[in-house]
Amino acid sequence: MKRKILVTSALPYANGDIHLGHMVEVIQTDIWVRFQKIMGNTCYYVCADDTHGTPVMMTARKLGIPPEQLIKEVHKSHIKDFQGFYIEFDNYYSTESEENKELSEYIYNMAAKEKAIYEKEIDQLFCINCKMFLPDRFIKGICPVCKADDQYGDSCEHCSSTYNAADMIDPFCVECSNKPEIRKSNHYFFKLSAFKERVEDWINQEHVKPEIRNKLREWFDQGIRDWDISRDAPYFGFKIPGTADKYFYVWMDAPVGYIAATRNLCEKKGYNFDDIWRNGKFEIYHFIGKDILYFHTLFWPAMLMVSGFNLPAKVNVHGFLTVNGTKMSKSRGTFINASKYLEYLNPEFLRYYYASKLTSSIDDIDFSIEDFVYKVNADIVNKVVNIGSRLGSIVYKKLDAKITEPDYDGKKLIQKLRASRQNIQELYENLEYSKAMKEIIALAAEANKYIDEKAPWKVIKEDAVQASMICTTGLNALRIIICYLKPVLPVLAEGVESFLNIKPLTWEDISVDLNNHTINKYQHLANRIDIEQARNILS
């Protein structure tokens, strides 16, 4: 039975460029979505720019433009970068939308109706120099839990604790470096504590991986605190209904962007919105980084529960990207924007490199220039593309562009390649891309070994029929390997489909022979990477 799935990835913030760290998540997600579609499942992939909050407002102020203009310009830039890496969104939207405003207010009003909203006076950090209450990301200091330095005002990247900014040790304003003072302010809170048991039950139903579940249990043991969902003016965002100067905290309306982007997609395409977010006919999968785990596994489920929307079937969590073993850094020259990469290198090579490292765990992955060049050249160029380049000209020029049937050894090779189908399928499904790539490249190596041993370029001088059988085997092997790799390398797959003169490959095609068939002239599919060319992205 075919599945119906909605997939989301975390919303990039509309205050800067897309970098290679962002690309880890969207590539991981896009591979999974493409795999589902190749399997024949209905799968929609939605995302949006996260547009609200003080940083957007302040950046726009510095540039002398309205926030609305800034987020429109950033939106175009983000879409361009994602398209450059062949990320295939069904809808890429914005949280600055009427749908998002209506849905955020709806969820808030439903929570208020259930008495899950209350008011409380709190201590807030106020910067006298900037003349404003400071949002969490405009405050840095020492974590009050583990004492790690240089942490933001809402959560610690070192120990993953969340806290009130006013509890930080030696806080300072990121904007002007001055020490803020504490002032009183009336805020609105979501009673997360009232949902503790329901959220905990949801977490225990395997909607997250065991290592994530264990981390969440630590937070439950520490005690679930209610959630401050309001921010003081000036603030760029949606005003809280019934208030004059209070706005929804950006993390209140940002995840609602998943629902808003879906509603917008449904309106454009005529899909049934309730089937996806109300009736439970779709599985919902979120892909996020481990730094926003708290919001997606505690706050977000409670928001969905109180408003009657479907909860996610899975929240998939990945680690961070390091470059040459360290955190991306502009000062070290290891902060790489997506657009910079695209100036010099094939985007599919990054897709493959990430896939070769990604697992279902939250371990960080490292981007090493030397390893990247070696792996791409060794695996994609030497083992995969090499099959087509070696056999294409022989078949087209000397065998009238026709393939026939595999020989006896060839049939055994094809059978071996097909035997991996179920395992590779499960590895994709379970986000074990690294294991899948290892197995697929091992199969490509087997195909190259067969071609080396059979040497059709020599055989054809004496026996054209036998040479044709060898080439037929090799090109059938290439077709299966490319089908396995298609979620990762969609454009390379299109090139092979064109070369082999076949329709777009689906997972079912793995079990079908391509015999007695006319191919097209081989066109070059990929170039080797030069190490100096690759180093340009660090300059």
Yes or no: say if 355 and 27 are a contact pair by the CB < 8 Å rule.
Answer: yes
Among 277, 292, 318, residue at a domain's last position: 318
Q: Which residues pair with 248 in a beta bridge?
A: 230
* DSSP-derived 3-state class of residue 93: strand
Structural domain boundaries, residue 39? 1-115+195-225+250-318
Cα dihedral sign for 414, 419, 423, 429?
positive
| Within a domain: 329 | no
Do 392 and 436 belong together in one domain? yes
Do 75 and 180 belong together in one domain? no
| Within a domain: 164 | yes
Separation of alpha carbons 47 and 150, rounded Å: 30
| Within a domain: 427 | yes
Do 104 and 13 belong together in one domain? yes
Sheet architecture: strand order including 321-323: 326-327, 321-323, 365-367
For the chain (length 539 residues), average pLDDT per consecutive 10? 96 95 97 98 98 91 95 98 98 98 98 97 91 85 93 84 86 92 94 94 93 88 90 93 94 97 98 97 97 93 98 97 85 85 98 98 95 98 96 95 96 98 98 98 98 97 96 98 98 98 97 96 94 91
pLDDT of residue 327: 85
pLDDT of residue 331: 66
Global pTM exceeds 0.75 = yes
Do 305 and 415 belong together in one domain? no
| Within a domain: 168 | yes
pLDDT of residue 33: 98
Tokens representing residue 288 in the block: 């996020």
CATH of the domain at 136: 2.170.220.10
Yes or no: say if 426 and 491 are a contact pair by the CB < 8 Å rule.
Answer: no
Do 488 and 449 belong together in one domain? yes
| Within a domain: 530 | no
pLDDT of residue 137: 76
Separation of alpha carbons 231 and 343, rounded Å: 40
φ, ψ dihedrals at 332, nearest 5°: -90, -5
| Within a domain: 78 | yes
Nearest to 539 by CA among 321, 368, 350, 341: 341
Separation of alpha carbons 19 and 133, rounded Å: 29
Separation of alpha carbons 16 and 24, rounded Å: 17
CATH of the domain at 424: 1.10.730.10
Residue with tokens 């020490």: 179
Do 277 and 163 belong together in one domain? no
Q: Is 386 left (phi over 0), alpha (psi -120 to 50) or beta?
A: alpha
Among 147, 166, 190, residue at a domain's last position: 190
Do 180 and 289 belong together in one domain? no
Do 215 and 144 belong together in one domain? no
Nearest to 469 by CA among 416, 523, 402: 402
Separation of alpha carbons 500 and 498, rounded Å: 5
CATH of the domain at 79: 3.40.50.620
Among 172, 190, 208, residue at a domain's last position: 190
| Within a domain: 340 | no
* DSSP-derived 3-state class of residue 255: coil
Do 65 and 200 belong together in one domain? yes
pLDDT of residue 220: 86
Do 97 and 135 belong together in one domain? no
Contacts of 295 (CB under 8 A, 6+ apart): 251, 255
Do 14 and 49 belong together in one domain? yes
Separation of alpha carbons 241 and 248, rounded Å: 9
Separation of alpha carbons 193 and 15, rounded Å: 32
Separation of alpha carbons 446 and 466, rounded Å: 19
How many separate domains does the chain show?
Answer: 3
Do 75 and 219 belong together in one domain? yes
Tell me the residue ranges of DSSP E strands in 10-63: 42-49
| Within a domain: 536 | no
Q: What distance separates the 2 farthest-apart alpha carbons in the chain?
A: 91
